[in-house]
Amino acid sequence: MWESFTAGAQRVVERAGRVARSRGSDHVEPIDLLSALVEETESRAAALLLELDIALHELGPASADLPPVDDETPSPPHSQELRLVFGDALAKARELDRSQAVGTEHLLVALLSSGGPAADRLSRAGLTIDALIERVARVNAVESGPIPMAEDIPPPELADPGEADDLARILDASANRAREGLRVLEDYARFVLDDPGLTRRLKDVRHRFGQAIQAFDPDWLVCSRDTPGDVGTHIMATDEGTRANARAVLVANLKRTAEALRTLEEYTKISDQWLSGRFEVLRYDVYTIEKRLMAAVAARKGLQDARLYVLVGGLPTLGDLTWIVEEAIAGGADVIQYREKGLPDRVVLQRAREVRILTARAGVRFIMNDRPDLARLASADGVHLGQDDVSVRDARRILGPNALIGVSTHEPSQLEAAIRDGANYLGVGPVFPSQTKDFEALAGLAFVRHAVEATGLPWFAIGGITEANLDQVLDAGASRIAVSSAVVRADRPRDAAAAFKARLLDAD
Ligand SMILES: Cc1ncc(COP(=O)(O)OP(=O)(O)O)c(N)n1
Ligand SMILES: Cc1ncsc1CCOP(=O)(O)O
Ligand SMILES: [Mg+2]
């Protein structure tokens, strides 16, 4: 069933389990789902509640406000009531036709209809089922509905013709601003980041924006245009005429585009709420893309030139971690990950700090495996997370926006989810059987080939890579690799690293 839930809805369900555990409950209840939903502040459900003037804090404690729980204990089972809520959400998603996927908004509708304490809390906050359904249906229709043609929507009939003219000037200026801004963003994704996925998404937004503004009568807009008479034309903020670099251009245009879309959204509310909804959806799309663009910008800064990533730790480096790190660096490692599974936290932290000193001295990136808390204490450049480790979002809470967060991926859907979650780089594998870790299944070279097409973020092929099979990995399209045993178990780790590095640079 979960594959028909959006990533946001899945996150909320997972978080509900943690809420139930921190309450000490033996079942996850609808009320836990509501607490988890409250915390998903960027979700469609949260946006709808805000639109309906319902303050999120009135709906109960967010899971972050509850006592912490350890991540090892499994969540209790879902209660019968909660299972009914999920079934109802599924039915609502089908009925309201949002590509049939269950989003946070459908969970909200189902909670409100559930008739239990969660529904009471929502009703007490002022939410009514009719208002909510009407909103959800509108947003869903905006996403899947037909595109109106110019003749469908005449200029608004306002009492004062001068007012229509003012409105046209606002809409014309904002439409131009948003269109130009979107083009600047697309050029950044295309030419600076070389990111096909982001370029495609921005192109899609630009295209949908173009369709939305077809609803305006072009004569109405252009006739009202009076650039020389526009009092704003010559007023410039002090920093508007200069930009420090391409990143500053990007940031300014993200802001400009979102602002222009907001202006369109607000002023079209006067005459056409449906169209206003389309601009709202586009504005949310820009926010989502912003998160991905900024992750890509950070990755570019930290890992653009990185080719060889070496994992140290475990048995082979128990006695001589410092020496191995120095050797790997001398051989050309661009990134060192400290991956330690069995030692006490206090010892791991002490050793991580040693790795930090060595890597900092050499100007090499240092990534801590699994543990954002230890990464922060050791001043690492970031953390590497697996599918069962804490989420990117939680790691960011600890490490902040500038940390490099990597995610292990073993199949296309995980890769897509990691990108959506804001990972800065990806591990792609396991490609071959590994001496470092046992795997039930291999992702293989097919997944490496998939990654080439799927992302412009830096990604490292990993798992059993040796000098003997490196060519297969490079032929599959990888330009970066992560290795452990082939370096840390080598007689001469420095030479082993140097051999990998030379071949990676050769293949560039
Ligand atoms: C670069 C890189 N890629 C993948 C992994 C594996 O992470 P994970 O799946 O969490 O497994 P463990 O390493 O924690 O056993 C990695 N560490 N680094
Ligand atoms: C931790 C991990 N996750 C995927 S492969 C791997 C181990 C990489 O080590 P090796 O290069 O020795 O296979
Ligand atoms: Mg892990």
In this structure, what token pair is assigned to residue 436?
A: 């470092």
Q: Pairing mode, if any, of strands 382-385 and 365-369?
A: parallel
Q: What is the average per-residue pLDDT within 209-237? A: 77
Which of 122-131, 290-299, 403-412 is predicted most confidently? 403-412
Query: Which residue ranges have their beta carbon within 6 Å of ligand 1?
Result: 309, 311, 337, 339, 369-370, 384, 386, 389, 406, 408, 427, 437, 460, 462, 482
Taking the C-alpha atoms of residue 217 and residue 154, their distance in angstroms, rounded to an integer, is 7
* Number of residues assigned to the chain: 508
196-213 helix and 273-303 helix, angle to the nearest 10 degrees: 160
In CATH, 305-507 is 3.20.20.70: yes
Look at residue 128 and give its three-state secondary structure.
coil
pLDDT digit string (tens) for 355-376? Answer: 999 999 999 999 999 999 999 9
Whether the pLDDT of residue 74 is over 90: the answer is: no
**Confidence at residue 149, expressed as pLDDT on a 0 to 100 scale:** 45
Q: What ipTM score was computed for the predicted complex, to two decimals?
A: 0.99
Give the tokens for residue 22: 């921190």
Q: Is 378 helix (H, G, I), strand (E, B) or coil?
A: coil
Is the CA virtual torsion 204, 286, 132, 118 positive or negative? positive
Based on the residue annotation, tell me whether 408 is a catalytic residue of this protein: yes
- Summarised one tens digit per residue, pLDDT across range 422-472 is 999 999 999 999 999 999 999 999 999 999 988 889 999 999 999 999 999
The residues that bridge with 335 in the sheet, in sequence order, are: 309, 365
Q: How far apart are CA 37 and CA 42, in angstroms?
A: 10
Mean pLDDT value across residues 192-210: 88
Q: CA-CA distance, 321 to 92, in Å (whole number)?
A: 56
Reply yes or no: is the peptide bond before residue 430 cis, omega within 30 of 0: yes
Q: Is the Cβ–Cβ distance between 421 and 407 less than 8 Å?
A: yes
Average pLDDT over residues 479-505: 97
436 close to ligand 2 (CB < 6 Angstrom): yes
348: pLDDT strictly greater than 70? yes
| pLDDT(98) > 60 | no
Number of helices (H) and strands (E) in the chain: give both, helices first: 21, 8
Q: Contact 418/438 with Cβ under 8 angstroms?
A: no
2-144: CATH superfamily: Clp, N-terminal domain (1.10.1780.10)
CA dist., res. 380 & res. 348, Å (int): 13
The residue type found at 325 is: V
Of the residues 21, 23, 339, 396, only one is catalytic, namely 339
Tell how far the Cα of 167 is from the centroid of ligand 1, in angstroms. 55
List pLDDT tens digits, range 24-43: 899 999 999 998 887 776 67
Verdict on whether the full-model pTM lies above 0.80: no
Q: Cβ distance 201 to 291 under 8 Å? A: no
In terms of C-beta density within 10 A (0-12 exposed, 13-18 middle, 19 or more buried), how is residue 26 classed? exposed
